[in-house]
A = this chain, B = another copy of it.
């Protein structure tokens, strides 16, 4: 685990943005020293296991953010409809309305996946289960809730891919709108 770097609390988000931009394999320590302003000595002081450990810390922080801002509201909101609304707002903010990619999705696609398999897996599993939980509490039967939940999480990931490939964030915002509608209309089935 990385040492305490509370004095450099801004380093972790920066690392995240670098990994988003270059991918794991494409990120070099030279780029990291440049963007963080920290020399290699400092970086290895905080992250003795180097680049891999930096990525792990970043992924942990992503997980914490989603746990607090997305999964928890979905699981524990008294009003599940409100929890879902919170999710959509948080997701739209987090991904900058389609201009920012999902690090977990990006890491999932090539063989860097193998190094972080557990974290990547649990991110999507947690999201899926939390959303399904909210949908069930909202009155949907288990099968339909799981179905819609997988559909939503899947579509969000795909929309981030398309938005980036087309350089058009609106693909993402359109998808979010479509998904909200689908959830609303499914409640009346």
Q: Is the CB of B161 within 8 A of A26?
A: no
Say yes or no: A150-B165 contact (C-beta < 8 A), given A110-B21, A112-B26, A158-B159: no
Nearest B residue (CB) for A120: B165
The interface residues of chain B lying within 8 Å CB-to-CB of A25 are 22-23, 25-26
The yes or no answer to A36 lying at the interface (CB within 8 A) is no
**A62 to B: closest C-beta gap in Å:** 13
Decide if A167 is an interface residue (CB 8 Å cutoff): yes
Q: Chain A binding site: helix, strand, loop or mixed by DSSP?
A: helix
| Cβ-defined contact, A165 with B124, below 8 A | yes
Report the bound CA distance from A101 to B111 in whole Å: 11
Residues of B within 8 A of A157 (CB): 157-158, 161-162
Of B22, B124, B165, B167, the residue contacting A104 (CB under 8 A) is B165
The stretch that binds B, out of A43-51, A78-86, A88-96, A170-178, is: A170-178
Q: Would you give the 0/1 interface string for A100-114, flagging 1 where the beta carbon is closer than 8 Å to chain B?
A: 010011101111110
Question: How many subunits of this chain does the assembly comprise?
Answer: 2
Q: Do A113 and B165 touch across chains, with their CB atoms under 8 A apart? A: yes
Q: How far is the CB of A143 from chain B (nearest CB, A)?
A: 12
> What chain B residues lie within 8 Å of A117 (beta carbons)?
167
Residues facing B in A130-159 (CB within 8 A) are: 147, 150-151, 153-159
Q: Can you pick out 17 interface pairs between chain A and chain B where the beta carbons lie within 8 Å of each other?
A: A20-B110, A22-B25, A105-B109, A106-B110, A108-B161, A113-B164, A121-B165, A123-B165, A147-B178, A150-B171, A150-B174, A151-B155, A151-B175, A153-B158, A154-B159, A154-B175, A157-B161
